[in-house]
Amino acid sequence: MSSLKEIEFVAMLTSEDRYRHRHIRFKRDILSFVVQYETKLEGKWLPVIRYDTEHGFAHRDLFDRDGNKKKTPMFTKDYNEALTFAEYDIKSNWKIYKQTFLGGG
């Protein structure tokens, strides 16, 4: 039996807001992850904030309504800590991120 495990799910926050989560773990170590908050505008799901390890380091992408993104590195000791922070930040602050995304903050 392999100790490599992939977890993927989408959680609806409201009918127009959702949290998307995917990570790959080997034993207790997170090898990669993507967690993203998306909002629905004019029938389309748009990313608002995403944390991921796509370019070989943990970072945050903050999007505007035009799809432009601002990348910020995460200064965490490992991907486990980065994922824990990312989950907490999105779940705690998604309403603020949405307000900023929509131009209200």
pLDDT digits (tens, 9 = 90+) for 8-38: 999 999 999 999 999 999 999 999 999 999 9
For the stretch 79-102, what's the b/e string if a residue is b when 16 or more beta carbons lie within 10 angstroms of its beta carbon?
beebbebbbebbeeebeebbeebe
Tally of structural domains, the chain: 1
Range of the domain at 72: 4-101
Show the low-confidence residues of the chain (pLDDT under 70): 1, 104-105
Q: Give the DSSP letter of residue 1.
A: -
Predicted structure pTM score: 0.92
